[in-house]
Amino acid sequence: VSDTVYLDNAATTAVDPRVVAEIIECLGPDGDFANPSSVGHEPGRRARARVEQARAEVAALVGADPSQVIFTSGATEADNLAILGAARFYASRGRHVVTSRTEHPAVLDACRQLEREGFEVTYLKPGADGIVEPAQVEAALRSDTILVSLMHVNNEIGVAQDVGAVGALCRSRGVLFHVDAAQSAGKLPIDVGGDCIDLLALTAHKVHGPKGVGALCMRREPRLGLVPLLHGGGQERGLRSGTVPTHQVVGLGAAFRIAALEMAGDAARIAALRERLWLGLSTLPGVMLNGHPTWRVPGILSIAVDGVEGESLLYALPGLAVSSGSACASTHSEPSYVLRALGRSDRLAQSTLRLSLGRFNTAAEVDYAITAITAAVTRLRAVAPGHDA
Amino acid sequence: VTTDDPRYGVDVRRRVASLRGAGTLGPAPDVASGRAGDREQGAEVVLTCRVVEQRVADVRFLAFGCPHLLAAASWLTDRLRGAGREELLAWDWREAADALDVPPAKFGRLLTLQDAVRDLARNWPGPPASTV
């Protein structure tokens, strides 16, 4: 049992007990544990039915048809399958891809792999507010552009891109549009049809589902081609070989079903908690919001705290589970490339805190965080050179 | 501050919890100050000391940096008490690294501390004890 207040829901979330209950139904000897591809017997057909129910639940959250959903091990695999799979399939049409500098490594590293294969990639620089303007995307499109990849919500700062506008632009130019929705699914409305999204990467564990499962939602009309990354049993229409993990997929479906039902209420409550947090912390001098003030997901608050060193700030908050603005390793830390791309100095990037709220956070926890951060910042500033007190 | 983070040794945790020696000594004829580092580079230290009969009688630190640097600066305020100018000039950061079990990745931060100690010696109040 931990006394730590968990404000790192953008990293991962606790699994909702209702989701846990449905997962457990698929694990034991009396449960729906069978291989869903084994439709020659009744347990297999039961497992298959649960998988297809989950597929429908995933599709429903994003306005898709169940036939568009391919289960994966998470958003990283879905991003890789979308980017590498589409680029390789359509390489004869062109070898240019557009993305942004603030994408998740799952996208950036896939793009770097494409560069090693001879593709060209344009990395757009967002504005200081973290937003990539559709006009920037339009200016980057070329006759040989085959794919645009843009995340819906940034995992570090929480800003939301106008994927509908970019999607419409891409559709009008005949360019495929991939969206990493790991941080937005279940938190902001997504409509793959209305937003003209051809490839949508999803994950369960950011929305109170289990780790290790996600999905790629891909356009079916007109049919879209992908070169698979995995080869084997031909599951998931040959695009993702490997035994479909029934319990994981059922957990994904349950998490998405609950998110769809409770999105409006959760979003309003979590946004109010985030505002309470920001109002409490913004009274501290030298505290700055990272990213656009209103185009953002409800749960993520990223702040740069001037006058304190980032590692010491995190160290001084043992009762809070939060993330820093550094890509921390055990012995070193580098300033966040996302914050650097927004024009933040290395020092401010190092002294950034990401506080991310979820379904189970309370106002009391937010108040505790405000008190703890205020005390830590005040103490560290008091021993820093140049402090005027 | 209490933490069980294994990246920080017991002495570092104890020092950061108390931050003993933090502060500054006001300007006076018998007070010297030494400064090193750059906040933009992630480490900055200011030391002030009162000198009585050519010995350090009291030391205070201000520091911007990681927990290891804060702990080492605090430790240094005890270590330098009673030291003379020549000892300050000869002080080596490795002593703090050994005393506090600082990991190699943080050695660069301790160099900032050494630079501040030597700057303190250069600003020693009164006539120099010997040629630098």
Segment among A44-48, A200-204, B2-6, B113-117 with least mean pLDDT: B2-6
Nearest chain A residue to B60, by CA: A383
**Which residues have a Cβ under 8 Å from the Cβ of B90 and sit 6 or more positions away?**
none
pLDDT score at A330: 35
Write the pLDDT tens digit of every residue in A132-151. Answer: 999 999 999 999 999 999 99
Confidence of residue B7 (pLDDT cuts 50, 70, 90): confident
Confidence of residue B15 (pLDDT cuts 50, 70, 90): very high
pLDDT score at A328: 43
> B66, A311 in Cβ contact below 8 A?
yes
Indicate if the pLDDT at residue A226 is higher than 70: yes
Mean pLDDT of A106-132: 98
> A217, A190 in Cβ contact below 8 A?
no
Indicate if the pLDDT at residue A1 is higher than 70: no
CA of B77: how far to CAs of A94, B19, B97, in Å? 65, 10, 15
Write the pLDDT tens digit of every residue in A258-269. Answer: 999 999 999 999
Indicate if the pLDDT at residue A327 is higher than 60: no
Chain B interface disruption, residue of A305, A315, A322, A387, most B CBs within 10 A = A315
Indicate if the pLDDT at residue A329 is higher than 60: no
Report how far residue A81's alpha carbon sits from residue B44's, in angstroms, rounded to the nearest whole number. 47
Confidence of residue B4 (pLDDT cuts 50, 70, 90): confident
Residue A196 designated active-site: no
Write the pLDDT tens digit of every residue in A153-212. Answer: 999 999 999 999 999 999 999 999 999 999 999 999 999 999 999 999 999 999 999 999
**Nearest to residue A191, comparing CAs of A284, A64, A5, A296?**
A64
Report how far residue B30's alpha carbon sits from residue A14's, in angstroms, rounded to the nearest whole number. 59
Report how far residue B123's alpha carbon sits from residue B50's, in angstroms, rounded to the nearest whole number. 12
User: Do B64 and A332 lie within an 8 Å CB cutoff?
Assistant: no
User: Do A332 and B105 lie within an 8 Å CB cutoff?
Assistant: yes
% pLDDT > 70, chain A: 97
| Terminal alpha carbon distance of chain A | 39
Indicate if the pLDDT at residue B86 is higher than 80: yes
> A99, A124 in Cβ contact below 8 A?
yes
| Terminal alpha carbon distance of chain B | 41
Indicate if the pLDDT at residue B62 is higher than 50: yes
* Tokens representing residue A352 in the block: 């950034």
Confidence of residue A331 (pLDDT cuts 50, 70, 90): very low
Confidence of residue A333 (pLDDT cuts 50, 70, 90): low
> A241, A235 in Cβ contact below 8 A?
yes
Report how far residue A201's alpha carbon sits from residue A183's, in angstroms, rounded to the nearest whole number. 10
DSSP string, A72-97: ESSHHHHHHHHHHHHHHHTTTT--EE
% pLDDT > 90, chain A: 93
pLDDT score at B132: 45
Indicate if the pLDDT at residue B101 is higher than 80: yes
Helix crossing, A246-281 with A363-382: angle to 10°? 60
Tracing tokens 């100690």 back to the chain, one arrives at B117
Q: Say if strands A300-305 and A352-356 run parallel, antiparallel, or are unpaired.
A: antiparallel
* Tokens representing residue A146 in the block: 């085959």
% pLDDT > 90, chain B: 83
Q: B44: which chain A residues are within 8 Å (Cβ-Cβ)?
A: 384-385
Indicate if the pLDDT at residue B52 is higher than 90: yes
Mean pLDDT of A221-232: 94
Write the pLDDT tens digit of every residue in A52-106. Answer: 999 999 999 999 999 999 999 999 999 999 999 999 999 999 999 999 999 999 9
Q: Closest Cα of chain A to B52: distance in Å? A: 25
pLDDT score at B130: 53
pLDDT score at B127: 66
Strands, DSSP E only, in A129-203? 145-151, 176-180, 199-203
A-B contacts at Cβ under 8 angstroms? 63
pLDDT score at A387: 64
Residue B3 contacts A where some CB pair is shorter than 8 Å: yes
Closest Cβ–Cβ partner in B39, B66, B103 for A312: B66
Indicate if the pLDDT at residue B111 is higher than 80: yes
**Nearest to residue A247, comparing CAs of A215, A213, A208?**
A213
- What A280-284 contacts at long range (C-beta under 8 Å, 24+ apart), as own/partner pairs, is A280/A366, A280/A367, A280/A370, A280/A374, A281/A370, A281/A373, A281/A374, A284/A373, A284/A374, A284/A377
Indicate if the pLDDT at residue B131 is higher than 90: no
Q: Closest Cα of chain B to A128: distance in Å? A: 20
pLDDT score at B40: 86
Confidence of residue B5 (pLDDT cuts 50, 70, 90): confident
Mean pLDDT of A14-26: 98
For chain A, what is the total number of helices (H) and then of strands (E)? 11, 15
Closest Cβ–Cβ partner in A331, A379, A385 for B44: A385
Report how far residue A37's alpha carbon sits from residue A245's, in angstroms, rounded to the nearest whole number. 10
Indicate if the pLDDT at residue A317 is higher than 90: yes
Indicate if the pLDDT at residue B96 is higher than 70: yes
